[in-house]
Each structure stands twice: as C-alpha cells, then as structure tokens.
C-alpha cells in the first residue's frame, strides 16, 4: 500500500513536529486539532521554523512555499477521511485516545493505518476501540521531532506484520530510524532511561555526590551528552514520577521505585526547568 497522504491529529508539541517533517519529506499532510486558534498557532510555529531555515540559507523561499502548500489544517476530523495513515498526538489520556480512535475508525477508509504516539498507554486497549485492530499500532516519536532520529514502532496484539512494515518504511521516508519494540511499559528508550535517572536520584539522595558532580561524572566518564539529573529536570520531575510509579505498578518490581528525593521535589512544586527549580535552580541562571 502506497502512503501519499498523512493525517496528524493534535497540533501540540509532537503533532507540529510530525507535520513539519512529513511535509518536508514531500507528503501531503492534514493537521486537525480541536480549536482553530490552536491550529493557527501550530501553523505559525511551523512557518517560523521554515522562515529561519530560509534566512540561514538551508532551504529556499520556494521550497518553504511548497512545504506550506502541502499542509491543510483545521478542526473538522472529516478532513482526515482520505488519509492513508493518521498519526494521533493528542493528550496522554486513555479515554480521549479511545474516543478519537473510535471516530477515526468511522471516518477513515478501511485500508487506512491508525498510529498512536502514546508514550505509555496500552496500544492494544486503544486499538480495541476500533473495528480495525489489525491496522492500529504505536509510532513513538521523540521530542523535538525534527531533531530526534528515532521512532519506536510498536505492534498491538492484533497488528499485522504488513502494517508494521508499511510504517517502518514510512519512518525511513520521513527521515527517521525506526526500531520495532514489543508493547511493554516505556518500550525501549524510556524503559532504560527511567531506572537510569531514578538511580541517579537515589545516589543524590544518599549524598554520594552533588547533582553537579553526578551529572559531570556521567558526561565525562560515560560520554553522555547531558547528565541524568539535568535530563530529569528537562523532562519534568512530575512526568518522571508518574512514569516511575507506572513502571512500579506494571512490573511489580521494586527496582523501579521512584526516589524519595524525587517525590519531595514534586511535592514542593519543584518540577524542573518548567517551574524554575528541580535538581538545579534555574532562577539564578
Ligand atoms: P500537547 O499537550 O503539546 O498537545 C496535545 C494536543 O492535542 C493539543 O493541541 C490539544 O488541543 C490536542 N487535542 C486534545 N484533544 C483532542 C482531540 N479530541 N482531537 C484533536 N486534538 C486534540 O501534547 P504533546 O506533548 O504533543 O503530546 C502528544 C502525545 O505525544 C501524547 O500522547 C504524549 O504522551 C506523546 N509524546 C510526547 C512527547 C513529549 O516529549 N512531549 C514525546 C513522545 C510522545
């Protein structure tokens, strides 16, 4: 099955990035969100990104115009009806995802593949809200989408190998490196990163070293581009805690326990970069 038209549902952080790279790769793209002002704001940000690329001489004014012409954006989900693939990037709430997949199933052609960018929810549960569970799968992009090469492709219980292959191929066409992963909490990247960051927090809590020295050690001793505590502050400590608690519940293994230091920071409202304080104090920088 040839993919020509890509639908993106949700014009937030992830949706915008997916729209941008899909149009850059030459696909016709349809972007849908719930409110026109959200759609307009997303299109403005995409336009600004391409304008900057024009000013830096990375793309021509003509290719910017052509990219923009490939995108249709609005608030009516029926606009997605003749898309070959729809990538859902709405809020991380199971009830919202199940409701939009039910609608997409009714709107889209029987051949269309429906993908979710969920970070942690059950793809099988989302697929079960449709009558095409063989054509529903996970397509997990990373933030910021234009910069991060990886996409984790996750089949649900009934997904066909054919649908997986079509999406693996699409990932390559939009400039990404796909890897296939089983449907388990955190897939690959977050499965490894979550306990890594948690252990750094436990080391900090035990006073093994300061936050700066833990991060410095991992940067200069293990070649990490940034330290685990700075990374946690960037992700958001509330998000780290939520994921840690979810892992502990799903796996039932105490190795996934969130550090007390993390819980205390979240209780204090110190959620990392977004609130100005976390393992570091950003108000002083
Ligand atoms: P976001 O809050 O920036 O955007 C979500 C968008 O969905 C909003 O614009 C909202 O208006 C829209 N929306 C809500 N209900 C809708 C509906 N019924 N129909 C259409 N649009 C609707 O969220 P995000 O950070 O872009 O995350 C989107 C998804 O991607 C989530 O499942 C998240 O877990 C996942 N994800 C996020 C990241 C990240 O770092 N932000 C990374 C990987 C995966």
pLDDT tens per residue, range 21-32: 999 999 999 999
- Mean residue pLDDT of the chain comes to 96
Are the CB atoms for 178 and 115 separated by under 8 Å? no
**Which candidate, 110, 99, 165, 109, places its Cα nearest to that of 137?**
165
Q: What is the pLDDT of residue 113?
A: 98
Mean pLDDT value of segment 224-241 = 95
Task: Give the Å distances, CA to CA, from 103 to 60, 97, 220.
Answer: 39, 10, 50
State yes or no: pLDDT of 285 exceeds 70.
Answer: no
Ligand 1 center to residue 202 CA distance, Å? 31
Give burial (CB, 10 Å; 0-12/13-18/19+) of 284: exposed
Q: Is 93 helix (H, G, I), strand (E, B) or coil?
A: coil
Please compute the mean of the pLDDT values over residues 136-143 and round it to a whole number.
96
Average pLDDT over residues 180-190: 95
Sign of CA dihedral 49, 50, 53, 58: positive
pLDDT for residue 284: 80
- Protein residues with CB under 6 Å of any ligand 1 atom: 9-15, 32-34, 38, 89-92, 96, 100, 117-119, 141-143
> Which residues fall within 8 angstroms of residue 253, CB to CB, at 6 or more apart?
none
Residue 167: which H helix or E strand, with range?
Answer: helix 161-173
Please give the Cα distance from 228 to 196 (Å, whole number).
7
The predicted model gives 164-179 an average pLDDT of: 98
Residue from 119, 122, 129, 133 carrying the catalytic annotation: 119
Active site residue 119: yes
Q: How many Cβ atoms are within 10 Å of 84's Cβ, its own excluded? A: 20
Q: Which residues pair with 137 in a beta bridge?
A: 115, 155
Q: How far is CA 218 from CA 191, 212, 227, in A?
A: 19, 10, 6
Whether 256 has a pLDDT exceeding 80, the answer reads yes
Q: CA 29 from chain center: how many Å?
A: 18
Element (H, E) at 55: helix 36-55
Q: Which atom of ligand 1 sits closest to the CA of residue 235?
A: 40
Question: What pLDDT, in 10s, does the model give residues 44-89?
Answer: 999 999 999 999 999 999 999 999 999 999 999 999 999 999 999 9
- How far away, in angstroms, is 166 Cα from ligand 1 center? 24
Query: Residue 180 Cα, ligand 1 centroid: separation in angstroms?
Result: 22
Residue 232: pLDDT over 70: yes
**Closest by Cα among 217, 207, 264 to 241:** 264
pLDDT for position 86: 98
**pTM score, whole prediction:** 0.93
């Amino acid at each position: 099955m040839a993919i020509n038209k890509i639908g993106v549902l949700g014009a937030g952080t992830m949706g915008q990035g997916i729209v941008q790279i899909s149009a850059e790769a030459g696909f016709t793209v349809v972007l849908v969100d719930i409110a026109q002002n959200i759609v307009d704001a997303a299109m403005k940000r995409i336009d600004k990104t391409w304008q900057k690329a024009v000013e830096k001489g990375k793309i021509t004014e003509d290719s910017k115009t052509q990219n923009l012409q490939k995108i249709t954006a609005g608030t009516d989900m029926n606009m997605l009806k003749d898309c070959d693939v729809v990538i859902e990037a709405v809020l991380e709430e199971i009830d919202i995802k199940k409701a939009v997949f039910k609608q997409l199933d009714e709107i889209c052609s029987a051949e269309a593949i429906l993908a979710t960018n969920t970070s942690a929810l059950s793809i099988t549960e989302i697929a079960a809200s449709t009558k095409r569970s063989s054509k529903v799968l996970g397509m997990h992009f990373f933030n910021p989408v234009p910069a991060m090469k990886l996409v984790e492709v996750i089949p649900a219980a009934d997904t066909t190998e054919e649908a997986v292959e079509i999406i693996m191929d699409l990932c390559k066409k939009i400039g990404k490196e796909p890897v296939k992963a089983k449907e388990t909490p955190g897939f690959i990247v977050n499965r490894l990163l979550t306990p890594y960051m948690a252990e750094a927090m436990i080391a900090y809590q035990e006073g093994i070293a300061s936050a700066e020295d833990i991060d410095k050690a991992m940067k200069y001793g293990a070649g990490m581009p940034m330290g685990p505590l700075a990374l946690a502050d960037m992700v958001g400590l509330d998000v780290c805690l939520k994921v840690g608690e979810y892992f502990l519940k799903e796996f039932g293994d105490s190795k996934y326990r969130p550090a007390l230091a993390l819980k205390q920071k979240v209780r204090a409202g110190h959620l990392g970069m977004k609130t100005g304080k976390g393992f570091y104090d950003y108000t002083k920088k």
